[in-house]
Structure 1
């Protein structure tokens, strides 16, 4: 949300899309809460646009709806384009965790790969309890700073120029030990 209590247009469209996804399945808030592990009140507030969902919350909802975060966010953007200029790329911020996510690839339904730019402030810690899509392939290339990433209990510390790839089957954790922020390119490939 913006500081003056005005709802960000992306957050408003995201809230509406979350509500429509639940409605498409005919689920009550209680059913979605049971499936996602997110409280009914939090789900209700997210669907009404009263809160800007955190990355962790969106990950849980993406898991239940069988989408990647990029797919969900692309569903609230305008019509797909072949080229998206840097100043037109969708940027989503999770202020609670210090995570900034830029959708670099032009959104396009049906394509399996996408590029995302991630930024974490020094000291930021972002944990996901499960992948949005089991078996999702990720490649992370560090552009600036240092990132400690935990995948299936294996910890890798990556610095500028380093790259790691893996498939997601369980929890992951992204931590920026600092002292500078970390900026990385993330290539996501659906199974």
Structure 2
């Protein structure tokens, strides 16, 4: 028996379909540009699947936006003050990653704060940044995290802060027996 689709996944899918339509791209053309199969793209646009962080990252790269921008586009206009209970949480259940938009992005601003949590053993690889030259400041609050930026591997312990400009592949791996909890400040170029 098929579970009914998650409302957020349906809204994300609709926004992805809208972005593709705005560019007058076929599914085939988007598949070529993103490296994602046509069937996966079609299922994601219909809200039949919950897109993974890696899939959304590939599509954000093609559409020239951050993941926070994409996710905020399926939510209402972000107010100046966002109460903790109102901060949207998105989960990639397949990879063990959850992401809270602490300060949802705004078209007129370049920075945003994101809270990330990785389950023990979680390993997320991105083949490219959603926006080339994206500036990130990752502050590890709890756990152990291994971050790979291109060819450099960084091992973070609680309290460590890693600053990077992202131009190529990255990988976030929960390196300890407990989950990892961090704050990520993202600044668009």
TM-score normalised to structure 1 length: 0.96
For each residue in 1:33-69, what CA deviation from the matched residue of structure 2 results, as whole angstroms up to 9, or x when unmatched?
Answer: 0000000000000000000100000000000000000
User: What are the ranges of 5 or more consecutive residues in structure 2 without an aligned counterpart?
Assistant: none
Which stretches of structure 1, 4 residues or more, deviate above 3 A after TM superposition? none
Question: Number of aligned pairs?
Answer: 189
C-alpha distance in 2, partners of 1:107/1:68? 9
How many Å apart are 1:153 and its aligned residue? 1.1
How many Å apart are 1:4 and its aligned residue? 7.2
| Match in the other structure for 2:30 | 32
The 5-angstrom pairing of residues 55-134 of structure 1 reads 55-134=53-132
| Match in the other structure for 2:137 | 139
Change (3 A) 1:14 1:154: same
For each residue in 1:106-163, what CA deviation from the matched residue of structure 2 results, as whole angstroms up to 9, or x when unmatched?
Answer: 3322210000000001111000000011100000000111100000111111011000
The range that moved more, 103-112 or 123-132, is: 103-112
C-alpha distance in 1, partners of 2:41/2:124? 20
C-alpha distance in 2, partners of 1:70/1:107? 6
| Match in the other structure for 1:44 | 42
The range that moved more, 38-47 or 151-160, is: 151-160
User: What are the ranges of 5 or more consecutive residues in structure 1 without an aligned counterpart?
Assistant: none
C-alpha distance in 2, partners of 1:163/1:92? 23
C-alpha distance in 2, partners of 1:82/1:4? 39
User: For 1:78, what is the secondary structure of its paired residue?
Assistant: coil
User: For 2:56, what is the secondary structure of its paired residue?
Assistant: helix
C-alpha distance in 1, partners of 2:78/2:186? 18
TM-score normalised to structure 2 length: 0.97
| Match in the other structure for 1:150 | 148
For each residue in 1:2-30, what CA deviation from the matched residue of structure 2 results, as whole angstroms up to 9, or x when unmatched?
Answer: x9712222111101000000000000000
CA contact (8 A) 1:140 1:184 kept: yes
CA contact (8 A) 2:105 2:111 kept: no
C-alpha distance in 1, partners of 2:82/2:4? 26
